Chains A and B, each alone.
Chain A
Amino acid sequence: MQPFGNNATLLLQGSFLNAVSINEKFASIRKGLLEFLILRIISSDKVYVADMLQRLSGTEFATQEGTLYPLLSKMRREGLVDYEWQESDAGPPRKYYELTAKGKSQLAELNDYWKHLNATITQLGR
């Protein structure tokens, strides 16, 4: 899922400084995509927050508890996700998040929209 294939050529032509500014230019896009990615991560199974952070760590979208918990609570208020308590063998019960029906339809919409965006970017030249 790499829409910015041009990065490669840009980086090839460009200098080290170029790479820096590209990363920075997409900072707000990455931030905006976080909710979409959380939906995708939760889509397959019930997920614990530490596991979400684990999945995201090492990617361009690495984030922290301080960001993720407020985001999840907002998504729950909007009815996109819900959680259930599950016993854990190490410590107190944990919240496992899953998608609601609304969350699933939102994810489908976002996936389509993402594909549409990709197609547009590809169409607009290379």
Chain B
Amino acid sequence: MQKVISINLNGNAYQLDESGYEALREYLAGAERALAANPDGAEIMADLEQAIAEKCQRFLGSHKSVVTASEVDQIVKEMGPIDASAGEDATSTDEKAAGDKQGAHTEHRAKRLFRNPDGARIAGVCNGLASYFGIDVTLVRIAFVLMAVVSRGAGIIIYVAMMFIVPEARTSEERAAAGGVPFNAKEVIERAKKQYAEGQRHWRRQWRQQQRQWRRYGWASGTTPPPWTAGIAPLFALAHLALFVTMAAMTISLVNTGGIFAWRLPEDVPVWAGALILFIGYQIVVSPVRAAQHWSWNLPGPGQPGLYAFWNAAIWLTGMAIVVWIASHHIPEIQEFIHRLPDLARDFAEAMRQVFSKQR
């Protein structure tokens, strides 16, 4: 049980629990010290109190009238340390402080589950889950496909349900919350220092995070590519399409004939495993192209941003439509492929069942 303390923030009454009160008092006392020499100190203090009051409001509702200690901690973190010299000089010692602050600001941002439309295949459910758990999106997609097959379709229902339940990350802030922490140099350095003992493992994680970032926003997020890339931007979409068609042709060949064109799959490797390896290989090959595509969306020019992304999508959809039309009308192998798919799924489910029963 905690004692509740009533406080007055710039004319508004709030109730805090005792440890929350201590934390807030400490923050405001620190602010007062930092602003002691500031001619507008009193006014800034009132502004800060007002801002804190508004943040408290966020945590209160008709059934909740007390702001807890952890909520106060979050508020204090959001407020950030008082930079009494803000704007006075840009090069002095508070450069470090500013960086640290930024680190603190982003480091503690709470992770939330969102659907991430950047680089989404369907509705961004897998993408969002991957960001949330900090694992590669391809793995999540494979897991979903496995689940859908093993559970005979229940996975698809789960996906559709999540499509409606999980909100889409619309603002950049939400996207940052979906990814937990946005890529931030200062933060990486701070963490690296702190977790130096963890060594390699940590860097590998950061590296994966960075790769995800690249996949999502292109290589240099937030930067403008050099103008000459405008000419080759449509090529990325065509390259992506070409790779996809190649992959599709290889998959069809594999499923229909048990080998890729002239090359035969070894006897002891089941067809579904070959298809899975092919799919993963495709993801690896296509990822730089996809990154380049995303990157080219940042190009400057009339109608930007959005124009290149639009043309990119238009080329992709048109290309796919043509490919599917030609394929379904003129290539009998496609029909064969579709007929073989249920068998493939059954083999796969059988293999999975064996794997799991062996474990038990």
Spot the interface stretch: B150-158, B218-226, B274-282.
Answer: B218-226
A73: CB under 8 A from chain B? yes
Q: Indicate which residue in A19, A28, A77, A92 contacts B210 across the interface (CB closer than 8 Å).
A: A19
Interface footprint category on B: 35 or more
Dominant SS among interface residues on chain A? helix
Cβ of B318 to closest chain A Cβ, rounded Å: 28
State A57–B98 Cα separation when bound (angstroms).
15
Asked whether any CB of chain A lies closer than 8 Å to the CB of B141, the reply is no
The reply to whether A66 and B98 contact each other, CB–CB distance below 8 Å, is: no
Given the known inter-chain contacts A62-B105, A70-B44, A92-B10, please indicate yes or no for A27 contacting B98, CB distance below 8 A: yes
Q: Which of A62, A66, A68 gathers most chain B CB within 10 Å?
A: A66
Bound: A67/B105 CA distance, A: 12
Chain A residues whose C-beta falls within 8 Å of the C-beta of B88 in the assembled complex: 74
CB contacts under 8 Å to A, within B54-93, are: 54, 57, 78-88, 90-91
- The residue that B220 contacts in the complex, of A7, A54, A91, A126, with Cβ under 8 A, is A7
List residues of chain B with CB within 8 A of the CB of A70: 35, 38, 44, 82-87
A73 in contact with B99 (CB, 8 Å) = no
Cβ 8 A contact of A2, one of B82, B219, B224: B224
Give the distance in Å from the alpha carbon of A90 to the alpha carbon of B143 in the complex.
46
Of B87, B219, B295, which one neighbours A34 at CB under 8 angstroms? B87
Query: Chain A: which residue is nearest B95 at the CB level?
Result: A28
Asked whether B172 lies within 8 Å of A58 as measured between CB atoms, the reply is yes
Contact at A73–B186, with CB atoms within 8 Å?
no
| Cβ-based interface call for B200 (8 A) | no
Q: Whole-angstrom distance between the alpha carbons of A94 and B57 in the complex?
A: 15
The answer to whether B219 touches A12 (Cβ under 8 A) is yes
Does B261 touch A at the CB level, under 8 Å? no
Q: Are A20 and B226 in contact (CB under 8 A)?
A: no
Bitwise interface map of A from 76 to 103 toward B, beta carbon under 8 Å scored 1, else 0: 1100000000000011101100000000
Confirm or deny: A117 has a beta carbon within 8 angstroms of a beta carbon on chain B: no
Q: Are B224 and A8 in contact (CB under 8 A)?
A: yes
Q: Are A64 and B220 in contact (CB under 8 A)?
A: no
Q: Indicate whether B256 reaches chain A with its CB closer than 8 angstroms.
A: no
Q: Assess the A11–B186 pair: CB atoms within 8 A.
A: no
- Given A70-B35, A73-B38, A31 and B98 contact (CB-CB distance below 8 Å): yes
Q: Is A125 an interface residue (CB 8 A)?
A: no
Q: Which residues of B contact A68 (CB under 8 A)?
A: 86
Q: Which residues of B contact A32 (CB under 8 A)?
A: 90-91
How long is the Cα–Cα vector from A31 to B295 in the complex, in angstroms?
A: 26
Report Cα–Cα, A100/B10, bound state, in Å.
27
Of the stretches B45-53, B241-249, B307-315, B336-344, the one at the interface is B45-53
| Residues 30 to 78 of chain A near chain B (Cβ within 8 Å) | 31-32, 34-35, 49-50, 54, 57-60, 62-71, 73-77
When A60-B222, A73-B44, A91-B57 are in contact, do A28 and B91 touch as well, CB less than 8 Å? yes
- Knowing A24-B99, A64-B105, A74-B86 are in contact, say whether A91-B44 is a contact too (CB < 8 A): no
CA distance A109 to B82 in the complex (A): 29
- What are 28 inter-chain pairs, A to B, with CB distance below 8 A? A2-B222, A5-B223, A7-B220, A8-B223, A11-B219, A12-B220, A19-B210, A20-B185, A24-B185, A24-B189, A28-B95, A32-B91, A62-B106, A63-B80, A64-B79, A64-B80, A66-B79, A67-B82, A70-B83, A70-B84, A70-B86, A73-B43, A74-B88, A75-B87, A76-B40, A77-B40, A91-B54, A126-B226
Given contacts A65-B48, A66-B82, 9 further A-B contacts (CB under 8 A): A24-B189, A27-B186, A58-B173, A65-B78, A66-B101, A90-B57, A92-B10, A92-B50, A126-B226
The 4 closest A-B pairs by CB, nearest first: A64-B80, A32-B90, A23-B185, A58-B172
